[in-house]
Amino acid sequence: MAQLPDGQHAGPASLRQLLSAVVALGSSQDLPAVLRRITETAATLVDARYAALGVLDPGGTELSEFITVGIDDKAAWAIGLLPKGHGILGLLIREARPIRLPDLGEHPDSYGFPPNHPPMHSFLGVPIRVRNQVFGNLYLTDKTTGEVFTDVDEELVVGLAAAAGVAIENGRLMGRVREVGRLEDRERIARDLHDSVIQRLFATGLSLQGTSAMVRANPETAVDRIDAAVAELDLTIQHIRTAIFGLEAGHTAQGSLRAQVLDLASEVGEPLGFEPGVLFDGPVDATIPTPLDGDVMLSLREGLSNVVRHAQATQVQIELLAGDEVVLRVTDDGVGPVGVEGAEGNGLRNLAHRAESHGGTCTIGPGSDGRGTVLEWRAPLG
């Protein structure tokens, strides 16, 4: 804990606030909720305008998650990719001890901020340990009073970090308990879907196809409606097979490409105001190799970022297909496309460069009905 000069220490009000925070952390059992609450509590405890919790990757060398407070979702997407741990953030990773600075920009390890990032000055960073290993770091900037962070602020956040380590471990354990319960149902759900829903839908599709052939002499509108129903059934079967593939093979395991796509779709739901639909086709995790999977995720994030910032969309569909090639498609019903050639920034051009580096292509154009935008990113497999 921070050593305070001249006998200074956290006063009764501050200690009561810290005690309340510790009790609140103990009541959370879901790990993502725990991490969010830790970040919010730290900001409140020391009157910080901005707060973040960076979770270290398994190697302990860079950040794999970054939870923020004080920056809204649209601003976060405008900033772009999450930090990996350069500059002062990297210093805290390497040294794993509290760091307090009156001005970030004056430190020799300062890395600067990316475009669209709000200015930040005073800084307080504290590591969080779980079972004597660093789990991540708390980062706090800019007290709302305009003052710098004090010794007392550091003492309070160090105390919060100790409680946070216990809460994180509890959240991890509860997550494992819930996962065991899900595994027991996985095979049963997959079997029921296959034996009941898919066979019924397939039979309905065949029936409609037969009906379509019988009414060819009737008005075209009737045939079009039936053909549309068949296409909708085919899409429904694809969605259900996507669910079965994840259930049977465990391909929604943490860190898999499927899981990353689903997590990103959930993440972008906040700034969009709704969650995009997701469709997988083919053995995505088994056939898309590294580093191609990394470029797929970077391209998806860039495509979704453009939708958030420019499209004004009410519907978004993500498709990831794996066959002879990998195809990533992001479709929205927004105001219309900006082609790669007409892009003002580097984001869309980077999409094309990533595809070309794998022998693939990237195209951006209007939807089939002339409305919205379709981003299609392709690269050969094998």
Residues 148 and 285 in one domain: no
- The answer to whether position 220 is within a domain reads no
Residue 328's CATH number: 3.30.565.10
> For the purposes of burial, counting CB atoms within 10 Å of the CB of 38, is it exposed (0-12), middle (13-18) or buried (19 or more)?
buried
Kindly report whether the global pTM for this prediction surpasses the value 0.85: no
Question: pLDDT for 158-180, tens place per residue?
Answer: 888 888 887 787 777 666 656 65
The pLDDT > 70 percentage for the chain reads: 66
User: How many Cβ atoms sit within 10 Å of the Cβ of residue 17?
Assistant: 18
Question: pLDDT for 45-98, tens place per residue?
Answer: 899 999 999 888 888 888 888 889 998 877 777 777 677 777 788 888 888 899
Query: 17 phi and psi, to 5 degrees?
Result: -65, -40
- The answer to whether position 234 is within a domain reads no
Residues 352 and 262 in one domain: yes
Residues 265 and 150 in one domain: no
Spatial neighbors of 196 by CB under 8 A, at least 6 apart, are none
- The answer to whether the peptide bond before residue 32 is cis (omega within 30 degrees of 0) is no
Residues 140-163, mean pLDDT to the nearest whole number = 89
Residues 30 and 136 in one domain: yes
Determine the pLDDT at residue 246: 55
Residues 151 and 277 in one domain: no
- The answer to whether position 168 is within a domain reads yes
Rounded Cα–Cα distance for residues 367 and 28 (Å): 44
Rounded Cα–Cα distance for residues 24 and 128 (Å): 17
Residues 275 and 144 in one domain: no
Determine the pLDDT at residue 335: 86
pLDDT exceeds 80 at position 378: yes
Last residue of a domain, one of 176, 204, 237: 176
- The answer to whether position 62 is within a domain reads yes
Position with higher pLDDT, 264 vs 84: 264
Question: Domain containing 296: what range?
Answer: 252-382
Question: pLDDT for 306-315, tens place per residue?
Answer: 898 888 899 9
Range with lowest mean pLDDT among 52-56, 258-262, 342-346: 342-346
Determine the pLDDT at residue 330: 95
Residues 256 and 170 in one domain: no
Range with lowest mean pLDDT among 160-169, 204-213, 294-303: 204-213
Residues 259 and 157 in one domain: no
Determine the pLDDT at residue 12: 47
Last residue of a domain, one of 176, 204, 238: 176
61-90 burial, b for 16+ CB within 10 Å, e for fewer?
eebeebbbbbbebeebbbbeebbebebbbb
pLDDT exceeds 80 at position 100: yes
- The answer to whether position 22 is within a domain reads yes
Residues 12 and 156 in one domain: yes
Range with lowest mean pLDDT among 118-127, 169-178, 337-346: 337-346
Rounded Cα–Cα distance for residues 38 and 129 (Å): 13
Position with higher pLDDT, 163 vs 144: 144
**Which 3 state secondary structure label does DSSP give 112?**
coil
Residue 125's CATH number: 3.30.450.40
- The answer to whether position 30 is within a domain reads yes
Spatial neighbors of 285 by CB under 8 A, at least 6 apart, are 249, 251, 256, 257, 258
| Domain total of the chain | 2
Instruction: Quote the mean pLDDT of the chain.
Output: 76
Determine the pLDDT at residue 254: 54
- The answer to whether position 18 is within a domain reads yes
pLDDT exceeds 90 at position 318: yes
Strand partners, 53: 67, 138
Q: What does the DSSP 8-state code read for residue 307?
A: I
Residues 33 and 145 in one domain: yes
Cα torsion through 186, 190, 196, 202, rounded to 10: 160
Tokens encoding 103:
């001005």
- The answer to whether position 304 is within a domain reads yes
CA distances from 111 to 54, 71, 185 (A): 16, 19, 48
Q: Give, for 376, the enclosing helix (H) or strand (E).
A: strand 373-380
Rounded Cα–Cα distance for residues 217 and 212 (Å): 10
Its sign, for the CA torsion 350, 351, 354, 358, is negative
Residues 256 and 373 in one domain: yes
In sequence order, what DSSP letters do the residues of 257-288 get, joined into one string?
HHHHHHHHHHHHHHHHSSPPEEEEES-HHHH-
Residues 169 and 296 in one domain: no
Last residue of a domain, one of 141, 159, 176: 176
For the chain, counts of helices (H) and of strands (E): 11, 10
Strand partners, 330: 318, 375
